[in-house]
């Protein structure tokens, strides 16, 4: 199954409401917000990282940048790198920029930056550059069970 199919199955089985739609492909948070007609801060950037030989996911608002020092502190490790495009593809079967913020479907832990809690709705690419999902942040947290952290740059 694709990431999109896995997400829909998870959400449907938990009776979680969401909106899914196709649009022209986007590769940045700014492009995505513009084509979706949504605020940049409601967009979720899902980044796959590596620490001590294991992958993890950090999800942050589209208008924020990740602070590596804060992530290291949150995960309790001094070793942290972005996964390579090949590693991201291997772990998620998705291209960089299309990875959905559902690390749980890829069996990797998810760290959600508190910046995404500012908006009641979360928007994200759903495994493809041209497919988006919108859903409530509360339902997202129920579905993913992320560890909420402060990892955005000031």
As a whole number of angstroms, the distance between CA 23 and CA 36 comes to: 8
Whether the pLDDT of residue 1 is over 90: the answer is no
Residue linked to tokens 């001590």: 52
Q: Compute the distance between CA of residue 70 and CA of residue 2 in angstroms, rounded to an integer.
A: 32
**Domain residue spans of the chain:** 3-149
Task: Please tell me the predicted confidence (pLDDT) of residue 93.
Answer: 94
Q: Which overall architecture, per CATH, does domain 3-149 show?
A: Alpha-Beta Complex (3.90)
Nearest Cα to Cα of residue 122 among 46, 23, 49, 71: 46
Confidence of residue 17 (pLDDT cuts 50, 70, 90): very high
In angstroms, the CA 124 to CA 29 distance is 9
Longest dimension (CA), the chain: 39
Which residues are CB-contacts of 84 (< 8 A; sequence separation ≥ 6)? none
Could you read off the pLDDT of 25-72 as tens digits, one per residue?
999 999 999 999 999 999 999 999 999 999 999 999 999 999 999 999
- The SS3 assignment for 9 reads helix
pLDDT in tens, 92-103: 999 999 999 999
């Amino acid at each position: 199954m694709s990431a999109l199919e896995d997400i829909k199955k998870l959400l449907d089985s938990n009776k979680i409401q969401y909106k899914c739609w196709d649009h022209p492909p986007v590769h940045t948070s700014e492009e995505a917000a513009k084509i979706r007609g949504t605020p940049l801060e409601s967009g979720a950037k899902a980044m796959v990282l590596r620490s001590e030989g294991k992958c993890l996911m950090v999800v942050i608002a589209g208008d924020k940048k990740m602070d590596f020092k804060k992530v290291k502190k949150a995960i309790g490790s001094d070793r942290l790198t972005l996964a390579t495009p090949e590693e991201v593809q291997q772990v998620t079967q998705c291209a960089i920029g299309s990875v959905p913020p559902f690390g749980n479907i890829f069996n990797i832990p998810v760290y959600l930056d508190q910046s995404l809690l500012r908006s009641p709705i979360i928007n994200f690419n759903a495994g493809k550059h041209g497919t988006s999902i919108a859903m409530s942040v509360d339902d997202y947290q129920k579905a993913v069970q992320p560890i909420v952290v402060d990892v955005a740059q000031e």
